[in-house]
Amino acid sequence: MFSGFNPPKYDVFLSFRGEDTRNNFTSHLYAALCRSNIKTFIDGFEVGKGDEISSSLSNAIQNSSLSIIVFSENYATSSWCLKELLRILECNKTKGLVILPVFYHVSPSDIRKQMETYGEAFAKHEKSFNKMNDNFRKWRDALIEVANLSGWDLNQYDRSESEFVEKIVKDVLNRLNHKSSGDHLHGLVGIASSIERVESLLCNGMTEIRIIGIWGMGGIGKTTIARAIFNRIANQFEAVCFLANVRDDAKNGLNHLQEKLLFEILGEQNQNMNTFTLNRLHRKKILVVLDDVDDSEHLKVLIGDYLSLFGLGSRIIITSRDRQVLKNGVDEVYEVEGLNYDEALQLFSANAFKQSHPPKDYMDLSGIVISYANDNPLALKVFGCFLFGRTKLEWKSSLDKLKKCLNSEIQNMLRISYDGLDDKEKEIFLFIACFFKGEERGRVTAILDGCGLFTEIGISGTSAVESKSLDLSQISELYLSPDSFMTMPRLKLLKLYNWHKEMDFKVQLICEGLPDELRYLSWHGYPLKSLPFKFNPTHLVELEMYESNIQHLWKDTKFLGNLRRIGLFKCKQLTEVPDLSQAPNLQIMQLHSCSSLTKFPKISWNLNKLNLSYTAIEEVPASAIESLNKLVTLNIRYNTRIKNLPTSMRHLTSLRSLSLDGCSNITKFPEISGEITFLSLSETAIEEVPNSAIASLSKIVTLDICYNTRLKNLPSMRRLTSLKTLFLHGCSNLAKFPEMSDEITDLSLSETAIENVPSFVECFTNLRRLSLSHCRRLKRVSSSIFQLKLVSSLDLTGCSQLEDLPEVLENKEKLFSLYLERSALKTLPSSIVLLPQLSILVMRDCKNLESLPNSLCNLTNLSRLDLSVCSGVGKMLENVLLSSSSSCLCSLRDLILSDCNMLELPSALSCLSSLDCLSLKGNKFESLSLTLFTSLRRLDISYCERLQYLQEFPLPSHLEYLDASHCTSLETLPDTDVVSTKICGSNQCFKYYNCWKLEEKACINIQTDAQIRIQLMANNAQNGRVGVKFYFPGREIPGWINYRCKGSSLTIDLPPHWYSNKLFGFVLCIVASNESSSNRGSSIVDCKCSFIDSDNCEWQENTYLLISISEHPKWYQKSTYMLKSNSQYPKSDRESTYLFLQSYSTLSKYSFCKKARFHFSPSKDCCKVKKCGVHLVYSELEDESTESTRGAIAKEDREEEYFDSESEEINALCRSAQGRTKG
């Protein structure tokens, strides 16, 4: 799955004449491309006339998929642009670079014939160059060639320039999609089927949030698959983020990964998890890849808390070597298998011979290498690169080394590559591998340079370098004698780390000194109160003492000419920092959460970043701060003792970012330099923002003053033309809509006291995001709000006094979502039809709603409509649907009508031909028919406590998800008939939780329906992991399950020839109860499967999450299939059956085994597994004689029980279904 192919670094390269279009058309085009997640290169400057284009620019062209050339009036006057054009054409011919010309106020004909300004430009060039000059001729030919290509001509477009830009972006997306449909696989071996399988699991057409895990050993190709899929589908999402190397980066703390994730998604730094940020997440369809995750806690921190906030249709892909990490957090897990022999040979040959197959005389040797690599792509690539260009003798010598390896693990086999390095290269390799994997290059270079390893120019010097690294989490006790480190006088790198602070770790440490040669000292959890008194830190480059017990470092002022970075994160006992005024190269100081630190440190003037957040510093002295004239970032968040900042801060002209969030005693707006670009004052006690203070912030880009409850007014900010983002949410006494420059792009006024949105809002022509949610005094909104061309989402959730929505006066193409939840609206304006692109309309809990306009049915792009908790809405919706004679709401896929007190389902809903998901949760139906819906895939009727009958059973084959949980009156289901032979969807789930009144016959119908669906799923399934899940009341394992027993463990004798290519997998089934009255938390039930051969050797198969049982009845989390038990039934006499189809792709390696053992283990004592069962599923039913050989022998540690064979009635149903399938 690897190759030498590298995907282009950029999607688009922009070529343009800066003086013509940089600050207008091109900047708008660049912004639009970025908004569509198209990675675009734009040059930040132009060199003088006649200069050669830079190598970086040339490389950017070469590493792009497509180039947009903006031809403007003066394009040809620049020899720079013309040379750039030649390079683009060269890459078009050699690299397949796609060219898209854009003619901006120029005619393609003028360019081809070199007329008008192009003719004048070439007349000037003619004076500088001989007409016969080769470059001169190439320029002319290049212009003619590109001007003949199909492109976009503004002069031929009769609509606005912004619409012209959007059309270009759409064209670019189409071209990139077409190009990438093959490019993402170019040079990649054995990856196409894996991409297809993972994409099928992603179910990209579904609106629910899905999480997919990619699991496999190191080097098997997980990252390659994830990256290929990411590149292939990224442009289908509003925001994307690929977090690589999470396992390594997480060792430096998760905060920066969290910040990076939010930055990539929201496009801005320093995002706080406030209401506005959360709302913005909720509105976005997001694609996130978390690569190489090894800790389930990392998943919880990075996405667990935000998962419910991601927009509809969001997708998360997680790669991991650890199945346990994935089991609790994903919908599906895809197991990456090794390459087959032909694929392995092709990949190895590509790296060893630079061709698809080995030469004939190397075929046998290549076969040996492939067998050693065990189908692992990384091993094949490393071996191939190492053996490239070597003789047969060298090949045989290397293979002899591999043959003698006692440990066949690939990691050990890869040592052969390491042995090929010379001694000095090994030295640098080991430093990076052991200490600095995943670190920033500049940081590593500084430390290694301090060790005498000059990384930029090669290695010089002869002194040996020693290093020690110890993972404290791997030991329980550590004893260090006084001279433990002094016996290593040349020690330069020392790293002791412990990422699991909760472990019981005993330390006996008497440390009188550390080697003075230390350059890098990292000791997490350092147990002593200070560094050894004999230690001289003169050579230190970096000091890290995270989460340590240290109270002070050293006493005296020392000259520390090499020190560049100090990290004392969460050193809660630290009371003072030494005088660091003699550390002239110190650039970064991290004192975050040093909660006992009360004094501002004395620091060198060269400091670049200072973090004092969550400290107890009482004052920022003017004398200390005014010398920091190179300070760029200052963070003093959540310091509750500081009351004011010195006025001398206005002299810090390098300061760009100042964070004072949570400094609840700061009452005055700080005096700061006008060079600042980011200022956060949220949750302070500021009562007033002076005119003079605001006027001085001429370069401010982001201003955050949210949750300042004392703030009542703001001065005019119309002159702050750099201000793009203004956060005022939570300023509950702010009653006046702020005056701002029309350059503003993000504005949050949620939870403020504003009473109206004035008409001048239409002046904010660049505004893209506007939040007005929970403005409980808001009574009037000007119709100008619908004239904001770039606002795609309008949130008026919780505006409980807003009774009317203004009329839409003109067509607004850009508004995609409208949130009116818990407002006081009585109806919608009929002019809502002038929002043709509206796809999401949420009116949940609008208790005053009286009617809906008939024009609603003309919203042809509306895909999600939420009218939950709106009494009488059934009749309103039926009136709307009956008013239309043509197709109505033709794109509506999701309809939410939960808790609407409906007694019956409106028959007019049958006209919703595209309806995919329907929620009728909590209504008052007594019976329900599904014949109205011909394409419904997901149905939620949970908590319909009066529902007694489902009029159709078995369920329609196109239905993939049904939640009938807590339908406590549901008694009967019609008799089962054979379902359709076609089963839609690779994952199906049907819940009849707490349906305790279901008659015995109804439960049998459910079981039979489950059996037939499982068999047909196996018959129809394509490659890829699939699943069927049924949950229903019951005390018995269904009779058609072959192997059954009491208790939680089961050992079966596998029938002769049990494995064949038609074996699909197992049905796993348990009967479980909740025997606790505490009703706390959830219990996860795992199934551990192992296979046993004739010598009683046992092979453990991977652990699979079967089910999770919780006592919170109304909480359902899709991502982990969490099933919730009603807290009113805690006793053991309430038992449910959980049935789960699991397909396996690795059973072939156990084909020689004679037995299989299954153990079902709840994670908590409150859950009791009473019975369990297992059933082998084949893709086609065997005949009865073969089936009878699969006799059931169930064994349990404590007792053994036999059950009757399958009933003839169920066998007949399966044979009937199978016959129809074959027919």
Task: List, by residue number, the catalytic residues.
Answer: 84
**CA–CA gap between residue 154 and residue 71 (Å, rounded):** 11
Sequence-separated contacts (24+) of 926-929 with Cβ below 8 Å: 926/969, 927/951, 929/905
Length of the chain: 1223
Going by C-alpha positions, the residue among 272, 254, 276 that lies closest to residue 680 is: 272
Q: Structure tokens of 274? A: 């406030």
Q: Half-sphere exposure of 701 toward its Cβ, with a 13 Å CA cutoff?
A: 10
**CA–CA gap between residue 137 and residue 132 (Å, rounded):** 7
Going by C-alpha positions, the residue among 943, 1191, 1156 that lies closest to residue 1068 is: 1156
475 three-state secondary structure: coil
| Exposure class string for 412-449: b at 16+ Cβ within 10 A, else e | ebbebbeeeeeeeeebbeebbeebbebbeeeebbbbbe
**CA–CA gap between residue 815 and residue 812 (Å, rounded):** 6
Give the 3-state secondary structure percentages of the chain, helix then strand then coil, rounded to 5. Answer: 30, 20, 50
Going by C-alpha positions, the residue among 783, 716, 1207, 749 that lies closest to residue 1004 is: 1207
Phi, psi of 363 (to 5 degrees): -60, -45
Q: Structure tokens of 754? A: 């504003």
Q: Half-sphere exposure of 953 toward its Cβ, with a 13 Å CA cutoff?
A: 22
**CA–CA gap between residue 353 and residue 368 (Å, rounded):** 16
Asked if 720 contacts 697 with a C-beta cutoff of 8 angstroms, the reply is: yes
Q: Which of left, alpha, beta for 395 (phi over 0: left; psi -120 to 50: alpha)?
A: alpha
Asked if 660 contacts 681 with a C-beta cutoff of 8 angstroms, the reply is: yes
Going by C-alpha positions, the residue among 1177, 1190, 859 that lies closest to residue 1020 is: 1177
Identity of the residue numbered 446:
A
**CA–CA gap between residue 527 and residue 511 (Å, rounded):** 11
Phi, psi of 1050 (to 5 degrees): -150, 125
Distance from the first to the final alpha carbon of the chain: 39
**CA–CA gap between residue 7 and residue 83 (Å, rounded):** 25
**CA–CA gap between residue 677 and residue 240 (Å, rounded):** 25
Asked if 231 contacts 184 with a C-beta cutoff of 8 angstroms, the reply is: yes
Going by C-alpha positions, the residue among 570, 526, 580 that lies closest to residue 549 is: 526
Going by C-alpha positions, the residue among 965, 966, 1009 that lies closest to residue 991 is: 965
- Which DSSP string corresponds to 87-145? HHHHHHHHT--EEEEEESSS-HHHHHHT-HHHHHHHHHHHHHS-TT-HHHHHHHHHHHH
Asked if 1018 contacts 1189 with a C-beta cutoff of 8 angstroms, the reply is: no
Tokens 């909104």 sit on residue:
781
**CA–CA gap between residue 330 and residue 589 (Å, rounded):** 38
* Cβ contacts of 649 within 8 Å, gap of 6 or more: 620, 625, 626, 655, 670, 671, 672, 673
- Which DSSP string corresponds to 442-458? HHHHHHHHHTT--TTT-
